[in-house]
Amino acid sequence: MRKNLEVPEQKYWYKIVELDRKGNTKTLFHGLNGSRILTKGAWLVADIKPVKDGTSKTTYLSGWHIVPSEEECIDYLTFFKHQENKAIIRCRARNIWPKVHSRHNVFLSEQVFIED
């Protein structure tokens, strides 16, 4: 369950991604500039807009979904219906806010940086 809505100050965050057969790291749902493939080694800026949550149909502002710790990310992944081809990666993030309606300790960010 969600601990609190304060954004922790930390250097690294964790993100659940999909790995395709070619070894590409991809977003789970919404893409960026028409592609779900995530570029490594550059700051990626989210297309912030109202979107619907897949489970509860709640509307919220989109952003990069991130989790404060690898342990919490592992726990969060257990709630996914389809866990195949998923991986947890470490990233940096900027302009972070809580995903208020989430039951888990999930945050959203305007920008993420995935290292090589």
Q: Does residue 96 lie within any of the structural domains? A: yes
Q: Does residue 5 lie within any of the structural domains? A: no
Q: Does residue 101 lie within any of the structural domains? A: yes
Among residues 57, 46, 42, the alpha carbon closest in space to that of 101 is found at 57
Among residues 24, 31, 92, 40, the alpha carbon closest in space to that of 107 is found at 92
Residue the block writes with tokens 């807009």? 49
Q: Does residue 51 lie within any of the structural domains? A: yes
Among residues 58, 113, 65, the alpha carbon closest in space to that of 91 is found at 113
Q: Does residue 3 lie within any of the structural domains? A: no
Q: Which domain holds residue 96?
A: 13-113
Q: Does residue 1 lie within any of the structural domains? A: no
Backbone φ and ψ of 16, nearest 5°: -90, 130
β partners of residue 88: 16
Per-residue pLDDT of the chain (116 residues; tens, 9 = 90+): 455 667 888 999 999 999 999 999 999 987 888 899 999 999 999 989 888 876 667 888 889 999 999 999 999 999 999 999 999 999 999 999 999 888 899 999 999 999 98
Q: Does residue 7 lie within any of the structural domains? A: no
Q: Does residue 94 lie within any of the structural domains? A: yes
What total of structural domains would you count in the chain? Answer: 1
